[in-house]
Structure 1
């Protein structure tokens, strides 16, 4: 299968590099073409438009920043759905609303091709270490075709949530809620420990060696102890975007999320204070203030 990749942010470029180790040529498109140059040196082929890339490929993988950007590259006469080969597959790795996934699947069906939801858990360092977890849903036959690409992209595991494309998107939002609430809770715990005269590094080492030994607590905990939060592996403004999606989905699903709303408020405060382009762990600075 000819494969294409759209979206070369910090995470996207790491995934594209993984794919290039297994699959050439890989067709790539990014709104800022200069970001694709390191990939060209490794064998990628730059396309000048979404339309050109989609018309060339059997499978298009996208990881763009939000629902609006995804709709922009998917819908309309210049988009993926209208130009992808008949029977082709669009694999979306973005964190989006479940309702957006459902509506885009309909657009693809109207053009005789497929849409697969495949958001992922993992930062750029996890992508480079090939330790990503994909949360997938959609047509079973189409999914079976793209599973090898997800493994090539850096997938350590592929978790299936059924044929409804909304399911994988919902699973990702539920997961990101736990990540964001864990980061903010650890930031507050570190501050409480410090203000109480405890060495926060010693306290965190005890926790991450016992009750909270998972990757989120170990990785983000170590980052929270550091000063300075750039370059961002997962920017605070993207974290706020996800928090907004989580609260929107909670309203759509009629699920109360008082903790989620407080996390959203803390992230809004941090962005307002100028930390938007910093790593999500810089939320601790807003809490400290």
Structure 2
């Protein structure tokens, strides 16, 4: 790889003195066209501009993308003949469409090195958190935006909170969250029912708590991310549980997807001890958790929500605050009800295509060119066709969410027939020993 010589005034500029450089791999401080944003970008996440320009223009028709390309071309005209010009474009629209970053490949070139974020060879592959925008959206006051890339904000530095963070539960979602908290420079103490899962994070710099109560007593803000309402209650109310460590001013953030009644109960017992409570379930998958691209839906104590700002920036791309405790649980159950029902419908379509002599791959190809095209559809269908049911979101958990959503509908006399039908298919899949596989394994309920 050619040595890159930089100077102030280039598109990769010297960062402000107070802007913290992320730990780990070599990064450049990059200014983006179009939005005039900036961020620390890892060197392997950059791609030559000219070899991929036409390809990307054909794929991306968005106005902002075209504006960014126009800005690049204008700059190239003005900079023609100058040495060491660095052009980086704002291809945020590509990122929203599900594109990821290829490995950097720069030939030794004495002239220009123009880079852009590139389309993945496989659109189904996961997105990397390169120019993710963390939007904090509030129901009552409109919206503001805090943007992040890797461990540094676009439009300003993301500084990790000086509060001590605790995290309980290192499952599919929790593991990715903790990893990103550590990468962002947070001080994190972890606990997991299976203690061996803590070892990797201890090696990465986390501290170990022997019990949930000890973690809470050691930390200012403690997050919990467990599998279901019973696990959430046991963690708080059980022996050496959270409640025993709560003191006035301590913050507890419940990230598990549970029913609103459980949230109400937990909020009451936490606040009765002088603690501060926030629910913040997340929408996403293991891969999105690893990539720091979760969607956080929060409700409860607004001041806790604000105290968690840098944590939410580390783990997610968007954060919503929607009022009083219980609202986030309701919203997340509705979201997961829709997702679970949709997944069952996709599986039904794939198996019906096969039963009628149609190519499942052709069905997928057509589906992914229509209005329902999405990374979710492409990824899940490709995994089904490949027989890959490695869990990204457990089937047993989506069935739990469907069950809780149906119960919530019953409590307000609202019919949920589509969810009820999907729930029965997931129950059949569980009976076929698919509980610990990905939700896409609901496909197997149709072929057995």
CA RMSD of aligned residues (A): 1.5
Establish whether residue 247 from structure 1 lines up as the match of residue 409 from structure 2.
Answer: no
Establish whether residue 178 from structure 1 lines up as the match of residue 338 from structure 2.
Answer: yes
Distance 2:379 2:410 in 1: 31
Alignment check: 8 A CA contact 1:182 1:217 kept: no
- How far did 1:286 drift? 1.0
Secondary structure, in 3 states, of the residue corresponding to 1:27? strand
Partner of 1:200 in structure 2? 360
Distance 1:226 1:194 in 2: 15
What is the aligned counterpart of 1:158 among 319, 342, 360? 319
- How far did 1:90 drift? 0.9
Query: Whose radius of gyration is greater, 1 or 2?
Result: 2
Alignment check: 8 A CA contact 2:216 2:250 kept: no
Partner of 2:241 in structure 1? 79
Q: Which has the higher helix share?
A: 1
Residues 1:184 and 1:77: Cα distance change in structure 2 (over 3 Å) = closer
- How far did 1:92 drift? 1.0
Of residues 83-92 and 31-40 in structure 1, the stretch that sits farther from structure 2 once superposed is: 83-92
What is the aligned counterpart of 1:101 among 259, 263, 272? 263
Alignment check: 8 A CA contact 2:263 2:329 kept: yes
Q: Compare relative contact order (CA 8 Å, sep 6+) and give the higher one, 1 or 2.
A: 1
Partner of 1:47 in structure 2? 209
Distance 1:67 1:147 in 2: 26
List aligned pairs for 1:260-271, cutoff 5 A.
Answer: 260-271=419-430
Distance 2:175 2:409 in 1: 31
Distance 1:218 1:279 in 2: 15
Q: Which runs of 5+ in 2 are unaligned?
A: 1-162
- How far did 1:56 drift? 0.4
- How far did 1:57 drift? 0.6
Deviations 1:14-48 (A, max 9, x none): 11111111234310000110011010110011111
What is the aligned counterpart of 2:288 among 102, 118, 126? 126
Partner of 2:164 in structure 1? 2
Secondary structure, in 3 states, of the residue corresponding to 2:300? coil
TM-score by length of 1: 0.94
Alignment check: 8 A CA contact 1:58 1:84 kept: no
Of residues 237-246 and 173-182 in structure 1, the stretch that sits farther from structure 2 once superposed is: 237-246
- How far did 1:79 drift? 2.4
Distance 1:187 1:217 in 2: 10
Distance 1:234 1:133 in 2: 15
Partner of 1:219 in structure 2? 379
- How far did 1:95 drift? 0.5
- How far did 1:69 drift? 0.9
- How far did 1:60 drift? 0.3
TM-score by length of 2: 0.62
Distance 1:130 1:143 in 2: 18
Q: Which has the higher strand share?
A: 2
- How far did 1:113 drift? 1.1
Secondary structure, in 3 states, of the residue corresponding to 2:295? strand
Distance 2:443 2:352 in 1: 11
Establish whether residue 257 from structure 1 lines up as the match of residue 416 from structure 2.
Answer: yes
Distance 2:239 2:382 in 1: 47
Distance 1:109 1:82 in 2: 13
Secondary structure, in 3 states, of the residue corresponding to 1:12? helix
Secondary structure, in 3 states, of the residue corresponding to 1:278? coil
Q: Which runs of 5+ in 1 are unaligned?
A: none
Residues 1:228 and 1:216: Cα distance change in structure 2 (over 3 Å) = closer
Distance 2:233 2:185 in 1: 27
| Number of residue pairs the alignment of both structures matches | 286
